[in-house]
Amino acid sequence: MESDSEPHEHHCGEHYGIFTLKGDLPIQGAYRDICYEPVRGNIWTASEGIYRTIFVEGRKSVIAFDTFGTPGTARAYAGAMNRVFPNKPVETVVYSHEHLDHTGYAADLAPKAHIIAHEYANAVIDARGSSGQKTANETWNGERTEYDIDGCQFELIYPGPTHGDGNVAAYFPQHRTLFMVDTVADGVGYTTLMDWHLTHYVPVMKRFLSLDWDLFVPGHFWAVSRERFIEILDYWERLFDFAQEAIVAGVDPHDWDQLNAWTDEHLGPHYRDEFRYYEYAAMNLSRYMQEYLTGGWGIEGNIKPALSPL
Partner 1 sequence: MPENRGMFTHEAAQAYLAHEPEMQIEALSERLFSVTDGQCRTLFAAGDSQVIAFDTFGTPGRARAYRRAIESAVPGKPVGTVIYSHDHLDHAGFAADFAPDAEIVADVLCAKVIKARAAEGQLPATLVLEGKRHELNIDGVKLELLNPGPTHGSGNLAAYFRDEGVLFSSDTILANARYGFMPDYHFANFVPFMRSFLELDWDRFVPGRFELTDRAGFERGCDFIEAVMIECQNAFMNFVPIWLYEPMKGFVGAALADTYGDLDGFDGHIGQMAIRVVHHYLMGGWGLEDTPEARALLADEVSL
Residue 267 found at the interface with partner 1 (CB under 8 A) = no
Residue 300 found at the interface with partner 1 (CB under 8 A) = yes
Pairwise CA distance, residues 308 & 310, whole Å: 6
Residue type at 297?
A: W
**Cβ of residue 36: shortest distance to partner 1, in angstroms?**
23
For 131, which DSSP code? B
Contacting residue, 129, 146, 225, 275, with partner 1 by CB under 8 A: 129
Pairwise CA distance, residues 193 & 49, whole Å: 19
Contacting residue, 2, 10, 14, 17, with partner 1 by CB under 8 A: 17
Pairwise CA distance, residues 88 & 275, whole Å: 37
Closest among 266, 216, 264 to 244, alpha carbons compared = 266
The DSSP H or E segment spanning 43 is strand 43-47
Nearest CB to partner 1, comparing residues 35 and 293 = 293
Sign of CA dihedral 79, 80, 86, 88: negative
**Cβ of residue 292: shortest distance to partner 1, in angstroms?**
5
Contacting residue, 27, 35, 306, 307, with partner 1 by CB under 8 A: 27
Task: Candidates 76-84, 147-155, 206-214, 255-263: pick the segment binding partner 1 (CB under 8 A).
Answer: 255-263
Residue type at 296?
A: G
Nearest CB to partner 1, comparing residues 222 and 278 = 278
Kindly report the number of other CB atoms within 10 A of residue 163's CB atom. Answer: 23
**Cβ of residue 246: shortest distance to partner 1, in angstroms?**
11
Contacting residue, 23, 86, 142, 269, with partner 1 by CB under 8 A: 23
Nearest CB to partner 1, comparing residues 126 and 155 = 126
Residue 124 found at the interface with partner 1 (CB under 8 A) = yes
Nearest CB to partner 1, comparing residues 75 and 175 = 75
**Cβ of residue 280: shortest distance to partner 1, in angstroms?**
9
Side-chain half-sphere CA neighbours of 35 within 13 A: 10
Residue 25 found at the interface with partner 1 (CB under 8 A) = yes
Helix residue ranges per DSSP H, 58-210: 71-84, 100-103, 106-109, 119-128, 201-206
Residue 71 found at the interface with partner 1 (CB under 8 A) = no
Kindly report the number of other CB atoms within 10 A of residue 281's CB atom. Answer: 27
Residue 189 found at the interface with partner 1 (CB under 8 A) = no
Task: Candidates 149-157, 210-218, 229-237, 250-258: pick the segment binding partner 1 (CB under 8 A).
Answer: 250-258
Pairwise CA distance, residues 111 & 38, whole Å: 25
Nearest CB to partner 1, comparing residues 215 and 243 = 243
